[in-house]
Structure 1
């Protein structure tokens, strides 16, 4: 899994100087003020792809399984969801008005495949690209000039940006990490084992058993469970947390106390709507020097293949305080 690094330093690409285009400067600066790290953009793209896959109903997780009409509609859905997230005003002649500037929005799953309508020439375009297979995405601004476009043969006369002029795109975020589509990137045998289970609960148990130490988003859970009460299937009291505890597997959610445990153990930290599972064991001499955390009455470490299975700890209650001191989380218990 590619690490998610939403720091502005790593994701903001250097942009070509455009000193004579004050509208470009205004839009560029405003977008970065709304989302300095790019995390909000990345989340919208991830959620949009998952929305199109509609895994809860269809069980799909792979872009290639979309119908042609769904793929064609993807650009419109990205455009709508970005507008909802950032509350852009409707444009006068283009899709958006950002700080008083008309901006068109174009999305493509294929880099360079943005379809530019003739009426966009002369306007700023927000060009968005994402690839679920490489878990990368980009978004940049381009002032459309006719001489930079390939001539189209399609009926609506839409054009594409010539490859030699793509360097004119001023990237806001370039080749940044897209939250992983866990089902798509799982080992094929592990994925088959998940979907071989006959009930939603059993599939979720197998998912968290086989996709350990990875962020698993709500949409993945929805796709695997294919049940309206899918979140209930993760929790204790009969959910995956209860079922897997006997194997030592703990499922951390987006609660502060759970995030603290994940961070102290060196695991990916689950963000909003995410889970991270890992098999834990009570720490002993074999774990000396490895990350450990104290909760539920003992010090716990991530299990290795040499550690025999043992019953895992009970996670702190979601209402527990955030404070953690020297790897110790002193809080109540929850299922």
Structure 2
């Protein structure tokens, strides 16, 4: 199972879909199930411990739990989330924001219509200013596993449009500018405007000897390429590559 590879669990090479364990955890066979929505479950096990995750797009939450079937080696069915054999690990956790799910279809077509990974990432970050974009979403758009190099190229392209990409090391700067605070593996793009000492229309940060504020839609575009030397992303790469 993909979740087993992601967390380094020992795989079960003989696993068959919906029959048998997907991986082993500390030597214990585990069957993994994923369900969309919180409707009444219908999970089947043939004796293995079941780890399940449910995601509700309507409510924006996810749950995870363990279900211990009552009979080892025999078919068992889970039909209610109130089953006493369920041990909940997480309940009602917020689903990380995914800008792709909120983007209109015509804009998605433009993003995915770009010919290279770097251009698709550039287009996504251009259209998602002020919102968190994870490395996983960037990888989805770029259709690649390691996002580091194409993301650095996207950062350089966006700088000519006045857009910087803030990562986890710039979380304090993002907070000062009243933007979402990126966690490790997350990024926030924002277009900046150079302002004078008397500017009082919003928060300001000082970079490269100048004062910068979040630009509005009617503000002029100014290259911020000189700021790349003081921003983490352009100097050290990313967690994705």
Under a length normalisation based on structure 2, what TM-score does the superposition of the two structures give? 0.72
Mark the CA change 1:162 to 1:200 in structure 2 (over 3 Å): closer, same or farther.
closer
Separation of aligned partners in 2, 1:278 and 1:299: 15
Separation of aligned partners in 1, 2:140 and 2:53: 26
Mark the CA change 1:290 to 1:129 in structure 2 (over 3 Å): closer, same or farther.
same
Query: Equivalent residue of 2:232, what SS?
Result: coil
- Select the residue among 80, 100, 103 that pairs with 1:162: 80
Whether the 8 Å CA contact 2:53–2:63 is kept in 1: the answer is: yes
1:223 maps to what in 2? 140
Q: What is the Cα deviation at residue 218 of structure 1?
A: 2.0
Whether the 8 Å CA contact 2:47–2:69 is kept in 1: the answer is: no
Correspondence 1:314 to 2:231: no
Structure having the higher helix fraction is 1
Q: What is the Cα deviation at residue 138 of structure 1?
A: 0.7
Structure having the higher strand fraction is 2
Mark the CA change 1:168 to 1:158 in structure 2 (over 3 Å): closer, same or farther.
closer
Q: What is the Cα deviation at residue 280 of structure 1?
A: 0.9
Count, aligned residues:
218
Separation of aligned partners in 1, 2:199 and 2:9: 48
Query: Equivalent residue of 1:189, what SS?
Result: helix
Query: Equivalent residue of 1:220, what SS?
Result: helix
Separation of aligned partners in 2, 1:169 and 1:141: 6
Q: Deviations over 1:61-113 (max 9, x none)?
A: xxxxxxxxxxxxxxx4335645649x94121xx42xxxxxxxx6543234343
- Select the residue among 195, 204, 211 that pairs with 1:283: 195
Separation of aligned partners in 2, 1:269 and 1:108: 30
Query: Equivalent residue of 2:53, what SS?
Result: strand
Separation of aligned partners in 2, 1:213 and 1:166: 42
Separation of aligned partners in 2, 1:172 and 1:227: 31
Q: What is the Cα deviation at residue 195 of structure 1?
A: 1.8
1:77 maps to what in 2? 2
Whether the 8 Å CA contact 1:259–1:269 is kept in 2: the answer is: yes
Q: Which runs of 5+ in 2 are unaligned?
A: 11-23, 237-241
